[in-house]
A = this chain, B = another copy of it.
Amino acid sequence: MNCNTMTKEQLKEAYNGLNDRYLALKSQNLKLNMARGKPGADQLDLVSDILSCLVDPAECFTDGIDARNYGELAGLPVARAYWADVLGCKPEQTFLGGTASLNLMFDVISRAYSHGLVNSPRPWCKEETVKFLCPSPGYDRHFRITEFFGAELITVPMTATGPDMDMVEELVKDPQVKGIWCVPKYSNPEGIIYSDETISRFANLKPAAPDFAIMWDNAYCVHEFDGEFVPFADIIAMCETAGRPNMVYEFASTSKITFPGAGISVLASSVENIKYFTKLFGVQTISHDKINQLRHVKYLKNKAHTLEVMKRHASVLAPKFQVVADMLEREIGPWGFAQWNRPKGGYFISLNTMPGTAKKALALCEEAGVVMTPAGATFPYGKDPQDSNIRIAPSLPPVAELEKAMDVFCTCLKLAAIEKLLSE
């Protein structure tokens, strides 16, 4: 059944059978969504007791601070200590943001443009060109931030151990290359954990730009759903040791620990960077939501307890990833035109289908009521040169719906691939 060894006749026959199946699925008027790394309601139910963990006004006081009032721009000391515990850095290396770490990333880049970073010779808006490295497949929202500010996005291929570091080391010799987007643990979408060597090569980068910024989005730092917690290195300390303490900006949030969009976020970096940004952030706000910070610290307590909470999520997520992986293996595997990963954490499965067919396959999906992340989204400017990569986000639909959605998806993948072979 490997499509590469099938005759035209066999392909045509297979196509007709698949098309019948497709039309049958389409007639069900499905409305299913595997587009975004959105937790399902079942998962949110498991952590909804956070709503009642801070109801007594007498508990709003911590370290002599009234969390209900203005103040503590960088965050409550207990919240800074919480993130330091989770990330393995120091409390004074943290700044608590609002609900979204994405907003902190945006603000760092936005301020780099308007005012420059600590070691910038000038604001980035005064540079002739700003180039930014985008390991791909990667996260569309990252790429969009730098695109929004007019940077030239440069694709760096992903390998099994992280971004292609030979290429990164070569590219950073260009002083106009100002930074790189990274998701070091369970990378979005490939689910790769950067190897120790990759992390070490990052910390020891010697970019020509003195204000080169490693945007280290540790979004899935404690997000195992299969197996035990995988420890990760403290890149901040490593950059300090390597003599470039201000080179890395680490981000994390509780968006996929408690509630997406109603959690707390953190920027972690050198003390000098944190001081600089606390000053800049002081222009835009008096302080972030300390009630929510305190609520989260009361609920999550520390890293050890957070890992316990993450096991609850795993109990819901693991079966969903299992469905996707099983169906891909059964329905797509034998045809021999696609490859995918099988991650143990994070929120995505990255699939490479037959080059030139991803867009077509997802258009068919949409027509049948199954919404996926648009083809190309995982590459700079939303353009996958191979038209091959597809990001699958299994977290939102319940298992029963997921099976239906995957049935549609697998059928569409095959239809698009065989159509391509027939047209050649």
Binding site for B on A (CB under 8 A): 36, 38-39, 41, 44-45, 48, 51-52, 54-57, 60, 66-71, 98-100, 102-103, 106-107, 110, 113-115, 125, 141, 144-145, 148-149, 255, 259-262, 283-292
Contacts and interface: CB of A to CB of B under 8 A. Distances in A.
A107 B259 CA distance: 25
Nearest to A287: B261
Contacts of A60: 48, 51
B283 A38 contact: no
B51 A57 contact: yes
B114 A259 contact: no
B70 A145 contact: no
B284 A145 contact: yes
28 contacts: A41-B66, A44-B57, A44-B68, A44-B69, A48-B57, A51-B55, A51-B57, A55-B55, A68-B259, A69-B260, A98-B98, A98-B289, A99-B285, A99-B288, A99-B289, A102-B284, A102-B286, A107-B284, A114-B114, A114-B125, A115-B148, A125-B125, A141-B283, A141-B286, A148-B283, A262-B289, A289-B289, A289-B292
Contact of A262 (B148, B149, B259, B292): B292
Contacts of A66: 41, 44
A286 B102 CA distance: 8
A286 B261 CA distance: 7
Copies in the complex: 2
Contact of A286 (B39, B56, B69, B100): B100
A285 B103 contact: yes
B70 A261 contact: yes
A114 B149 contact: yes
B55 A283 contact: no
A41 B38 CA distance: 38
A290 B289 CA distance: 13
A36 B287 CA distance: 13
A11 B99 CA distance: 58
Nearest to A110: B110
Contacts of A286: 100, 102, 141, 260-261
A100 B106 CA distance: 17
A99 B98 contact: yes
A45 B66 CA distance: 11
Contacts of A68: 41, 44, 48, 259-260, 262
A262 B290 contact: yes
A-B pairs with lowest CB-CB distance, top 10:
A48-B57, A106-B284, A52-B55, A262-B291, A261-B287, A68-B259, A70-B260, A100-B285, A98-B98, A44-B68
